[in-house]
Amino acid sequence: MAIIRALLIGLAIGPLAAAADWTTDIALIKDMVVVDKAYIPALMIAKKGDAPHAQAAVEELASSWSDFESKWQDAVNEEWREGFARIDTLVAEASKLASAPQDLKQAHTALDEIRHVLARLRKKEGIKYFVDFVTTVEDALDEVVPVVAHDKDKPMTSDELDIAEQGLVRAKEAWKVVTSTRIDKTVYRIDIYYMGDYSSTVAEAAMLLDQLTRDIRTDDRAVLAEKIDRLVDRVDHFLEILGSTPGS
């Protein structure tokens, strides 16, 4: 009788234990990486205004996201399911907008929100995901770019300098997290072909951040804008490496 009772208790708590384990399941990370192999190209293509390739890229993302959602919908908690529903809306919106070249900027805005939805969900569950570290860097730079790029022929005001400096400091600290994190290149499926590019991009971005945080109050605004443009390009390129498909 005691054996039967133990078996019944095991059956009762088994599904609950399984449900609690999804946040530490390496399969979840691997499947997120698969989604990012479609998501990052779509995000970058929309950002660059590459109209001829945008629609196909978003369609690839929609297919990859659908596969991921179908697999994990019943395993995750209610908050994640709500996040999934929001991403469904954003993917559909991006798909509609990507068909018109003049709407690619809006498509990029919708696509960019997707990574922030996922980053918030992962952070809430304590899931450390490498791409989120890069997103933190880009968020900091997004605060700097419009301040420096505005009125390039005029000196920056004290308030503008403060905003730019604070944003660059945040970006530098966030980039240190990127560079100090040892990732499993098998899990994140980074092709050996890109490893040299990976390392040189990391180093160049770190060098630019060092220069910018040092020279923000002394360099000419146009010079700062040029360096920041290059930094944004390098961080975007790093993200593209993470989104590349081995063998492609």
Read off the pLDDT of residues 70-120 as tens digits, 9 standing for 90 and up. 999 999 999 999 999 999 999 999 999 998 999 999 999 999 999 999 999
Cα–Cα dist 156/164, whole Å: 10
224, 216 Cβ separation under 8 angstroms: yes
148, 221 Cβ separation under 8 angstroms: yes
Q: Is the pLDDT of residue 246 over 60?
A: yes
Read off the pLDDT of residues 144-177 as tens digits, 9 standing for 90 and up. 999 999 888 889 999 999 999 999 999 999 999 9
Mean pLDDT calculated for residue range 48-68: 96
List the domains of the chain with CATH numbers.
Answer: 1-127 (1.20.120.660), 128-248 (1.20.120.660)
User: Percent of the chain, pLDDT > 70?
Assistant: 91
pLDDT bracket for residue 217 (50, 70, 90): very high
Q: Is the pLDDT of residue 11 over 70?
A: no
Copy the structure tokens of residue 21: 């384990």
